[in-house]
Amino acid sequence: MDYETKLAEEREYGEEKGILSAIKKIIYRNRSYGVSDSKTLEDLTEDYHDSVSRDQIEQMMKEA
């Protein structure tokens, strides 16, 4: 594996971790504001559908 490929993989991994972290923060914040989980799920699915599946978001909400 060459250096550029390794950098690209690490960048992608970092972006994924950042997205998952942002989703967790949104879940906690919305709950603290009294936003329903169903509304949060719909909003997150719409906003992050290119990066994270609805099932992944639902799992994150269960774990939060």
Domain span at residue 25?
3-63
The DSSP H or E segment spanning 29 is: helix 3-32
pLDDT grade, residue 3 (50/70/90)?
confident
Whole-prediction pTM: 0.83
What local confidence, expressed as pLDDT, does residue 29 receive?
A: 97
With beta carbons less than 8 A apart as the criterion, state whether 61 and 37 touch.
yes
pLDDT, tens digit, 9 for 90 and up, residues 30-63: 999 999 999 999 999 999 999 999 999 999 999 9
Number of domains in the chain: 1
How many Cβ atoms are within 10 Å of 60's Cβ, its own excluded? 17
In this predicted structure, the answer to whether residue 7 has a pLDDT above a threshold of 90 is no
